[in-house]
Amino acid sequence: MEIKLLTLLLCVYHVVSMDNGLARTPPMGWMDWERFRCNIDCANDPKNCIGEKLFRDMADEMAANGYKDAGYQYVCIDDCWMSMQRDSHGKLYANTTRFPSGIKNLADYIHSKGLKLGIYEDYGTHTCGGYPGSIDHLEQDAQTFAEWGVDYLKLDGCYASPSKMDEGYPQMTKALNATGRPIVFSCSWPDYQRSQGMEPNYTLIGENCNLWRNYADVQDSWKSVSGIIDYYKKEQKTLAAAQGPGKWNDPDMLIIGDYGLSYDQAKIQMAMWAIFSSPLMMSTDLRTIKSQFRDILLNKEVIAVNQDPLGKMGKPVTEINGVEIWVKEMMYDGRAVAFVNRHTDGMPRHVTVKLKDLGFDYMMGYEVRDIFEHIEMGHIDISQILKFTVNPTGVAMIYAYPSE
């Protein structure tokens, strides 16, 4: 009798929590919003409008040019994809002009490339762009997405009360679980609560979401990226305790390859998203991206730091000569270190440091590698002096593991 009761309780828990076995490392992929926004003018801008051609093109680029092999797997549609009304049965459907083949057909195409499809909805009455929201259709929409072959759902929070999200988002979790289809669930829940001065319940959020936004949308600028880093630095203890395999803080999309970041600033975003163990969702035009930015996105050594199975969020440990030093603990006692210079005074900054001053404690020393320059630095004793030169709004990054 006790065994049957325990089994029943476990089944009930599964229904009401996002224990779906997905996103055991931070999700990687591509999302249209930051770069392409709500461009619905396919008549005058057919190459860049939110329509099926754009997403087929990005799937083609990801499959052919190394992104899939590097770990990027989701092709995600953000807002503005659907019709302005539901059909006569209350079901969502895509704008028929811009998605003439429908979402199911698009999902099949993306799956044929060995990739997965993500889609967008909103918990409120409308999406942020004014399209139909899910608040009165959670079960129906979850089932629709499952029938279409969707693999990832981003649920925004416009036109909804943040005070009701502790109840509402878990309802979508339950609806997604009920479909039987594995769907990664991305929530915007804590960001809307934070913006209203509420304290997000990260325990509850982590039980119901695979990833969650908790700060303002990234914009195409260094100021925006630096502001996100500031927030994650200020809230590091709270955010680090909330995340782990299957549940991730999401500082928003990578804008590497767009207009607003220099080469060095793009490296900072990639390095810090890796240190944070954050989702890596590109939002750039993969058809025209310059090779130097493509190389940053495809840096498998930095990606390996991001995808480390422990899923720990790194932390700032010290600052030397105005350079922030962040350390992330990794599997097998390995560690990644990012030396981040956010100053804009025109001169590179020099850092002299010993590993022991950064919390390294294996007395036999470490093998150290520069993972942006792809250079072996050799066996380093924890008391040995290391020197780095870091460009203005630039970064140096190493990976170290214990070695005799």
**Whether the Cβ atoms of residue 280 and residue 273 lie closer than 8 Å to each other:** yes
**Whether the Cβ atoms of residue 117 and residue 154 lie closer than 8 Å to each other:** no
Catalytic residue among 78, 151, 156, 258: 156
CA distance 40 to 51: 8
Which spans in 113-254 are helix H? 138-148, 165-179, 189-195, 202-208, 222-234, 236-242
217 flagged as catalytic: yes
CA distance 167 to 371: 43
| CA 196 and chain centroid, separation | 23
**Whether the Cβ atoms of residue 62 and residue 72 lie closer than 8 Å to each other:** yes
Alpha-carbon radius of gyration of the chain: 22
Catalytic residue among 108, 166, 217, 357: 217
Greatest CA separation found in the chain?
72
- Phi first, then psi, for residue 244 (nearest 5°) are 170, -175
Residue 155, beta-bridge partner list: 121, 187
**Whether the Cβ atoms of residue 379 and residue 360 lie closer than 8 Å to each other:** no
79 flagged as catalytic: no
Sign of the four-CA dihedral 63, 77, 225, 236: negative
Residues with Cβ within 8 Å of 135's Cβ and at least 6 positions away in sequence, in order, are 123, 124, 125, 160, 168
The total of other beta-carbon atoms located within 10 Å of residue 315's CB is: 17
Q: Which residues are catalytic?
A: 156, 217
